[in-house]
Chains A and B, each alone.
Chain A
Amino acid sequence: MRGKWPVLVLFLPPALLLFTVFVILPMGEAARYSFYNWNGYGLPTQWIGTKNYELIFRNGAFRTALINNGLIIVISICIQIPLALWLATMVSRNIKGALAFRLLFFLPYVLADVAAGMIWRFVYDGEFGLVAGIWNFFRAAPPFWLADKQVAFYAVLSVIVWKYFGFHMMLFIAGLQAIDKSVLEAADIDGATGWQKFYRVTLPLLGSTVRLSVFFAVVGSLQLFDMIMPLTGGGPSNATQTLVTFLYSFGVMRMQVGFGSAVGVVLFIICVTLAFGYKRIFMRND
């Protein structure tokens, strides 16, 4: 093998440099800054040990954010994924218009997160929105869901289901296509009903797709930011914060570099633990 060195010297360094400077080093610096009280100007000098971490876990908004992220995962598993699976079984049948419905259901996922947030903010608007229109039609006083801290997060959760079920549906359609038709025909010959076929044949064979789908739901929940900002911005009184919006409102907006970095480190640890743990426990054989 000749001429190996020119390639190594020319081809590897640009990617390596960029990746190190903008991904790895900032992560390392986040770990360092998290032990300082620093507003970002000058050099970090005020070492405060683990005080930032203590502040995070004593912060009520952080706990809300953590619970909200958990709720998103629970709703994804209990509502979004079953819904996606149900729709996938319907649109992969051999009926007229199935393709059109498939495309239609995928539409919200194609939409940019920010645009989806904007649209739903308008829909939920208590004065001009769709919800207000329905309530006015029944001569009832329209609700301001996004301004009510008891219900705001449920309103956000329904937007999340609306936005992302199409993605999971596409995963399931691909999974269903991979199932050998002869297995289902064998079940037919044995006299299985539609429900039995689904529960005893299709679902077990979709196991790996379900696990993948849950994995994406977990990862997506931890990154959720773009859609929350136009919808509620984390409010009212921090009722709809997620981990990333919490980092933004408490770290970036107030330029608390130390505190924000500590939140970043906590988020990093949660991401890595969940990703590795989930892969190790549930996706060993996939």
Chain B
Amino acid sequence: MTEAAPIDAATAASSGRRLSAGTQTYLYVSMLIIAGIVVIPLLTTATGGFKTLGELRGNPFGLPAEWQWSNYGNILTSQRYWMQMGNSLLIAGLTVFLTLLFASMAAFTFAHVKFFGSDFLLNYFLIGLMFPAATAILPLFIRIRDLGLLDTYWGVVLPQVAFGLGMSILLFRNYFKNLPPELFDAAFVDGAGYLRFFWHISLPLSRPIIATVGIISFVGSWNSYILPLIMLNSESKYPWPLGIMVYRGNSAPIGS
């Protein structure tokens, strides 16, 4: 956080226009108030984790009188915590890999191959952008159950990939379309087919968009809650958002 330091003449001159002292006070006071509202809940929760329940009741704001490292220590050394992190990582990793693979392949055909019905098919994928996964969650559950994928990682991964496809294909296609067409012509003159063009030219040139789609789908999967909640039963397979809800039961502040 930054102090509300008065701007001296030199910096004011370099920043263009000088702000009056009144305006500056107004700006910093308002921003500090909002910053306080944003940060105080986070800080008190974090420091609350170091306190005993009794101290929490008497002294919710200040630093703990006696730091209870064991609250955090117990979590960080517990096998359950690392298992949940591992589960989250595995689910997110599989989701990212499959999303990148399938979306880039489909987007490549939409961007470079002319075929009958391509516009129709692209719009078909874009339907997925219009409604949240929650709308069809019950039939999805029945389907996953009938496929025998209930309480497996795949039961979470496959629907996540499917619901991420619309956005990912859109992003990939726009990027592929903007690659210079001369590359394409040159590759064909040199005798490369679509497959080699995709693998040796399109993908290596698409690192920025691969990173973007990868991050979007990773964060989405890492934080996702409703799909694992419905598809997973055994606690050994829980990703962290489900695990944290189990912690909630015991009223230690760090879990609550």
Contact = CB atoms under 8 A, between A and B. Distances in A.
Interface of A: 1-4, 6-8, 10-12, 14-16, 18-19, 21-27, 29-30, 33, 40, 86-87, 90-91, 93-97, 100-101, 104-105, 107-108, 112-115, 118-123, 125, 127-130, 132-133, 136, 162, 222-223, 225-226, 229-230, 244, 247-248, 251-252, 257, 260-261, 264-265, 267-268, 271-272, 275
- Chain B's interface size range is 35 or more
B23 to A, nearest CB: 8
A10 B161 CA distance: 18
A90 B158 CA distance: 44
Nearest to B143: A26
B251 A16 contact: no
B134 A267 contact: yes
A122 B109 contact: no
Given A29-B143, A114-B241, A271-B131, 11 more contacts: A8-B115, A27-B136, A29-B136, A93-B27, A97-B1, A113-B223, A114-B223, A127-B57, A247-B135, A257-B142, A267-B135
A127 B136 CA distance: 39
A119 B114 CA distance: 52
Contact of B15 (A23, A29, A94, A268): A94
A264 B134 contact: yes
3 residue pairs, one from A and one from B, having the closest CB atoms: A97-B2, A133-B60, A22-B162
Contacts of A93: 19, 27
Contacts of A100: 1-2
Interface string B187-199: 0000001110010
Given A252-B137, A257-B138, A271-B132, A95 B15 contact: yes
Interface in B34-53: 34-35, 37-42, 44-45, 48, 53
B178 interface: no
- B-side binding surface: helix, strand, loop or mixed? helix
Contact of A104 (B11, B39, B57, B143): B39
Contacts of A21: 143, 162
Contacts of B4: 97
A19 B125 contact: yes
11 contacts: A1-B113, A3-B193, A4-B194, A18-B158, A19-B124, A24-B124, A27-B135, A104-B35, A130-B44, A162-B38, A264-B139
